[in-house]
């Protein structure tokens, strides 16, 4: 209902001006709330009598909406308020003035009154005072206008932090999510999010900064509930456009940590200490000694049987090789890859070739490999000793000074070189682990962004040129394995290719262009895996820089986006060297 439409069943009008109402009874005392007379003087109570007023329940149809400063409104813009009135009635009393003829004029609460009529509410609470018959009309209107503007502009809204805390309180008191959602005119999911945020001191404290969305605050709240202070700290301080990537990174890191600890349980049961990180063994005061640095007192290599026989002296670090073991999907037994008909992959309706098994009956599994480290303070009494470092012919001193001091120096240098090499190898393994994890997080985030791009009615400005350039330079782009399947996923459809072609043929020009863009994006995405950071050449740099341009376009238009290239994508786009990526931030 628009403010310009008449309301059936009640008088909604500006009262006639210039007409002095009949005098009210002499015993009616009225003081306007904006009368300059002070209520408190010098810290003492004023002798000015309080205005006479009544708290009444009135029928909406008995009210007349007086002249009001709020003229531009549409009742259809307040569905939550309407639903609230249907459930609870009007909760805040109207300010009503009784005229000399007995008419009740609404000075504050016109929208509540109109919505109460639409909701067919029987009664409305009202705070009713009597008109001052001696007040000039212009002065009355000025005072009413001042009152209305102050009432509307001086309401103190609830903060988001207080909102979420209140929702959390109601659930703690036993209210169901459904009841709270209905009572607050919210979706159930939003009630759950608000409750989680309200129970989290950090998320609740960030709520009123308007820096984070409700979904982002829920992520912070969940990590705080789990006691993951590192994740809370990272997400609370990250820049808003990096939040999604950082959250996905953390989630993957935590999954990998859980998987590593699960793989370590067997070793813990044998009595080994379990390491959460691969230790640095390169310094002279290192807490751990790698197996390859040790030998028995007779000079024999250290075997796994020897280690397991004295497990309490050792700690284990398990590392993963992903998708290296092919096993039966049901039994977990090893399978020879040569016995699988790989042409049946993802096609349940196709029978495998004679003597072969269906590709969907097998799965690739990770392989966890242990590396053992002796606690340095356990070396005495272990029956082991540090190995002499291996030296090349030159290092061994052929033709050089062979004095004990010279040999000791060469030994020291060889040991330092071996330690440095071990540390370089350790850091390289860490780099691969960390950047692969970030690559997976970046891929997940980027594909979510592509789905949003392809859900738009029209393609980005640069799309047509990019599609033409891609198909001319890389004519095999759509022939790559899984390109069309990936495109369908990005377009949010599971229909076969021929049906998608029919859809494109009947689509608008702009939508057909979006579908074409989706096919090209699908082709590029099938070429990318978690190690994208290793490959800053070929097709990836142009593809990723195009996406960065699209992100800028959407961010400067009517839409908002958090998409910019992250570190591993910048490396893949040849914008930075992956060796310069900080692995600890």
Q: Strand (E) positions, 176-243? A: none
pLDDT (average), residues 83-108: 96
pLDDT (average), residues 121-138: 95
- Give the residue among 220, 223, 90, 112 at the shortest CA–CA distance from 164: 220
**Residue 474 near residue 522 (C-beta atoms within 8 A):** no
pTM: 0.79
- Give the residue among 429, 440, 447 at the shortest CA–CA distance from 252: 440
What average pLDDT does the structure give for the chain? 89
105 Cβ contact partners less than 8 Å away, ≥ 6 residues apart: 15, 63, 64, 65, 66, 96, 97, 98, 99
DSSP string, 219-237: HHHHHHHHT-HHHHHHHHH
Q: What is the pLDDT of residue 8?
A: 33
- What's the angle, vertex CA 223, arms to CA 221 and CA 227, rounded to 5? 115
379, with CB counted inside 10 A (0-12, 13-18, 19+), is middle
- Give the residue among 155, 150, 153, 156 at the shortest CA–CA distance from 33: 150
190 compared with 349, residue with greater pLDDT:
190
326 vs 185: CA distance, rounded Å? 52
570 vs 567: CA distance, rounded Å? 5
28-42, 258-272, 319-333: range with lowest mean pLDDT: 28-42
**318: phi then psi, degrees, rounded to nearest 5:** -105, 135
Q: What is the pLDDT of residue 339?
A: 95
pLDDT (average), residues 172-180: 97
140-154, 292-306, 560-574: range with lowest mean pLDDT: 560-574
Rg (alpha carbons) of the chain, rounded to whole number: 37
**Residue 411 near residue 389 (C-beta atoms within 8 A):** yes
Enter the tokens of residue 177.
């999510």
Q: What is the pLDDT of residue 49?
A: 76
20 compared with 238, residue with greater pLDDT:
238
522 compared with 348, residue with greater pLDDT:
522
Domain extent listing, the chain = 11-153, 160-237, 261-429, 431-580
Place 400 in a pLDDT band, splitting at 50, 70 and 90. low
Q: What is the pLDDT of residue 1?
A: 42
Q: What is the pLDDT of residue 19?
A: 35
pLDDT (average), residues 167-180: 97
Q: What is the pLDDT of residue 14?
A: 43
- Judged against a pLDDT cut of 80, whether residue 560 lies above it is answered with no
DSSP string, 88-129: H---SPEEEEE-TTS-EEEEE-HHHHHHHHHTT-S-EEEEEE
146 vs 430: CA distance, rounded Å? 68
**41: phi then psi, degrees, rounded to nearest 5:** -125, 120
174 Cβ contact partners less than 8 Å away, ≥ 6 residues apart: none
- Give the residue among 276, 267, 260, 369 at the shortest CA–CA distance from 308: 267
508 vs 503: CA distance, rounded Å? 10
Enter the tokens of residue 400.
């050089």
Q: What fold does the segment set 11-153 form as a domain?
A: 3.90.1530
- What's the angle, vertex CA 35, arms to CA 30 and CA 37, rounded to 5? 105
214 vs 200: CA distance, rounded Å? 13
pLDDT (average), residues 27-52: 56
DSSP state of 6: -
Number of Cα atoms under 13 Å in the Cβ half of residue 514: 21
Place 4 in a pLDDT band, splitting at 50, 70 and 90. very low
Q: What is the pLDDT of residue 284?
A: 86
Rounded alpha-carbon distances, angstroms, from residue 91 to 82, 109, 181, 399: 12, 11, 18, 100
29-33, 351-355, 442-446: range with lowest mean pLDDT: 29-33
491 vs 125: CA distance, rounded Å? 53
In this predicted model, what pLDDT tens digit does every residue of 198-212 receive, in sequence order?
A: 999 999 999 998 889
Q: What is the pLDDT of residue 40?
A: 52
462 vs 383: CA distance, rounded Å? 69
């Amino acid at each position: 209902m628009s403010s310009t439409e008449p309301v059936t069943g009640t008088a909604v009008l500006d009262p006639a001006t210039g007409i002095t109402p009949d005098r009210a009874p002499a015993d009616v005392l009225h003081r306007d709330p904006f009368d300059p007379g002070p209520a408190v003087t010098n810290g003492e109570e004023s002798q000015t009598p309080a205005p006479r007023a009544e708290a009444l329940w009135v029928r909406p149809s008995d009210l007349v909406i007086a002249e009001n400063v709020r003229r531009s409104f549409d009742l259809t813009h307040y569905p939550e308020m309407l639903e609230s009135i249907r459930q609870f009635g009007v909760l805040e009393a109207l300010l009503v003035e009784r005229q000399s003829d007995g008419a009740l004029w609404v000075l504050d609460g016109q929208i509540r009154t109109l919505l109460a009529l639409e909701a067919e509410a029987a009664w409305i609470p009202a705070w009713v005072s009597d008109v001052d018959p001696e007040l000039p009309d212009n002065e009355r209107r000025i005072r009413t206008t001042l009152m209305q503007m102050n009432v509307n502009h001086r309401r103190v809204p609830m903060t988001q932090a207080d909102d979420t805390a209140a929702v959390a309180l109601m659930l703690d008191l036993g209210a169901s999510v459904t009841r709270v959602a209905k009572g607050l005119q919210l979706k159930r999911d939003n009630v759950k999010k608000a409750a989680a945020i309200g129970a989290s001191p950090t998320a609740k404290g960030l709520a009123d900064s308007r820096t984070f969305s409700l979904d982002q605050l829920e992520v912070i709240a969940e990590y705080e509930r789990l006691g993951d202070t590192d994740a809370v700290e990272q997400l609370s301080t990250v820049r808003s456009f990096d939040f999604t990537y950082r959250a996905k990174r953390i989630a993957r890191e935590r999954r990998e940590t859980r998987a590593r600890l699960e793989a370590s349980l067997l070793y813990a049961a044998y009595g080994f200490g379990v390491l959460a990180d691969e230790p640095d063994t390169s310094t002279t005061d290192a807490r751990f000694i790698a197996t390859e640095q040790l030998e028995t007192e007779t000079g024999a290599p250290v075997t796994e049987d020897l280690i397991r026989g004295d497990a309490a002296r050792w700690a284990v670090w398990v590392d993963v090789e992903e998708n290296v073991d092919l096993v039966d999907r049901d039994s977990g037994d090893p399978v020879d890859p040569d016995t699988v008909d790989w042409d049946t992959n993802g096609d349940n309706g196709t029978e495998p070739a004679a003597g072969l098994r269906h590709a969907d009956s097998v799965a690739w599994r990770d392989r966890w490999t242990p590396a053992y480290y002796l606690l340095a303070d356990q070396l005495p009494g272990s029956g082991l000793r540090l190995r002499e470092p291996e030296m090349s012919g030159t290092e061994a001193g052929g033709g050089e000074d062979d004095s004990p001091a010279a040999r000791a120096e060469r030994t020291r240098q060889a040991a330092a070189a071996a330690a440095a090499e071990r540390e370089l190898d350790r850091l390289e393994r860490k780099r691969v682990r960390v950047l692969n994890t970030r690559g997976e997080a970046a891929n997940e985030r980027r594909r979510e962004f592509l789905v949003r791009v392809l859900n738009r009615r029209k393609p980005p400005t640069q799309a047509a040129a990019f599609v033409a350039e891609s198909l001319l330079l890389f004519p095999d782009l759509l022939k790559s394995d899984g390109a069309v399947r990936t495109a369908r996923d990005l377009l949010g459809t599971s229909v076969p290719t021929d049906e998608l072609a029919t859809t494109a043929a009947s689509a608008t020009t702009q939508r057909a262009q979006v579908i074409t863009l989706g096919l090209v994006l699908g082709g590029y995405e099938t070429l990318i895996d978690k190690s994208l950071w290793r490959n800053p050449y070929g097709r990836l740099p142009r593809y990723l820089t195009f996406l960065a341009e699209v992100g800028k376009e959407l961010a400067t238009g009517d839409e908002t986006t958090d998409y910019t290239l992250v570190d591993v994508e910048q490396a893949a786009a040849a914008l930075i060297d992956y060796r310069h990526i900080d692995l600890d931030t």
